Amino acid sequence: MQNLPYWPLSGYYFFYFAFVGAMSPFWGLYLKSLEFDAFQIGVLMSLLQGMRIFAPNLWGWIADHYGKRVFIVRLAAAMSLACYVGVFFGTGFLWLFAVMSLMSFFWSAALPLVEAITLSHLGARTERYGRIRLWGSIGFIVAVVGLGYVLDFTPIRVLLWAVLGVMAGLVLLSGRVPEARVVPHDTDHLPVWHIVRQPQVLALIAASFLMAAAHGPYYTFYTIYLVDHGYSKSDVGWLWALGVVAEIGVFLWMPRLFRVFPLQRILLFSLAMAVVRFLIIAWGVDRVGLMLFAQVLHAATFGSYHASAVALIHHYFRGRHQARGQGIYNSVASGAGGTVGGLYSGYSWDALGPGLTYTIAAGCALLALALAAWKVRDPPPIRPGRLMQ
C-alpha cells in the first residue's frame, strides 16, 4: 500500500468504532439505570441514527462544494467531544435528549467523509478497503470486550468516562488523516439527484433503509435482552465481539470475495442471512449455541453487506459526488432506517415482546432482499478493483 496513509486511516476507524462498541451495547444499560422506560431508551438510542437523516447530507454537500473534507472530519470530532461532555452535568430525559442530539449531529458527519477519503486514497485498489476498515472492527472488539468485563465489577457510570477517553482518541487521530485528490468524472456537471433517481440507486438506498431498520432492535435492546435472560455482561461482550471477529474475517477475505462474486450477489446473500439471523435471535435466546451461530452471521449481515453496499454507492456516485453519495446513503440508510428501527423497537418491545420485535426485524430484512433482487444491478465496470476510474 505504497503512498497510502494506512495507519492514520486505520487509526481513525479504530477509535470511531470503539465509540460504537461502547455506546451500542452498553449505553442502553446506562439509560436503564436512570430508570427510563423502553420507549424513552428507544428514543434516546435512536438519536445516534436519527441525526444521520440530514447531517451527513449537509456536511457532504459542504465538503463537495468547498473541497474541505478533512477539515470537516476534524471539526466534527472536536465538536462531538465538546457536546458529549454534557452527559456529566445532568441525567434528565430532556437534558440527555439535547446533549445526545447535538453530539450526534457532529458525530454523524464524519464517517461518510472518511469513507470517501479512504476510497479516494485507494484509487483503483478499492478491494483493499477491507484491510483498512477491519481496524474499526478491532476497535469495536477492544471496547465491547473490555467494557463487558469492567462493567461486571464497576458501576455503570464508569461507561461515561470510557466513552470520553475514546472520543479524545478520535480527536487526536482525526488530526492525522490527510486529504485525498478527487478524480474528475464526466458526470460532475450533473446534479446529484440525476444519479439518485436512477432505479438501481433508489432500490439500493431503499433496501439499505430496510436493512438498517431491521437492525434497530439489535443495536437498541440486544444487550438488555441477553442480560434479562441470564447472560453476564462479560458474556454479552464476548457475543458482540464474536460477531465482529466474523466481520473481520470477511474484510480480510474481501479482495478474493469481490473477484469471484458480483457485488449484487454478495448483497443478496447478506440480506438473506439477516432474515435467518433475526429469527434465531427472536426465538433461540435461551440456547447458547444458536446465539453463537447468530453472531457468526454478523459476517454477512454487516461485513459483506456493508462492503458491497458501500462499493455499489461508490460505483454510482463518481468524481465530485463521492462525499455527497456516501452522505445520502448514510442519511437514508443508517439515519432514517436506524431511527425507524430504534423507534418501532422501543414501542414493540413492551407492547409485543422481544420475540415478535425481532421477527419484525426479520420481515424488514426480507423486504430488503426482495427489493434488491428486483432492481439492484452491478453497474459497469463490474470489477470493484476499478471503481474509481
Asked whether the whole model's pTM tops 0.85, one would answer no
Residues above pLDDT 70, as percent of the chain: 91
Q: In one letter, which amino acid is 146?
A: G
pLDDT digits (tens, 9 = 90+) for 233-269: 889 989 988 998 998 888 888 888 888 898 899 999 9
The neighbour count for residue 248, using CB atoms within 10 Å, is: 20
CATH level 3 topology of 6-386: Growth Hormone; Chain: A; (1.20.1250)
* Range with the largest mean pLDDT of 60-69, 106-115, 206-215: 206-215
C-alpha cell at 61: 454537500
Half-sphere exposure at residue 123, Cβ-oriented, CA atoms within 13 angstroms: 9
Closest by alpha carbon to 122, among 253, 311, 317, 377?
Answer: 311
DSSP class of residue 156?
A: T
Rounded to whole angstroms, how far apart are CA atoms 105 and 93? 18
Angle at 49 between CA 275 and CA 110, to 5 degrees: 115
Closest by alpha carbon to 207, among 306, 110, 294?
Answer: 306
Closest by alpha carbon to 214, among 38, 333, 382?
Answer: 333
C-alpha cell at 200: 438501481
pLDDT of residue 386 exceeding 50, the answer is no
pLDDT digits (tens, 9 = 90+) for 318-365: 766 666 777 788 788 777 888 899 889 988 998 999 999 999 999 999
3-state SS class at 9: helix
Lowest mean pLDDT among 96-100, 140-144, 293-297: 140-144
Q: In one letter, which amino acid is 100?
A: M
pLDDT digits (tens, 9 = 90+) for 177-193: 887 666 555 555 566 77
Rounded to whole angstroms, how far apart are CA atoms 58 and 201? 20
Rounded to whole angstroms, how far apart are CA atoms 302 and 242? 13
Q: What is the mean pLDDT of residues 29-58?
A: 86
Which residue ranges make up each domain of the chain?
Answer: 6-386
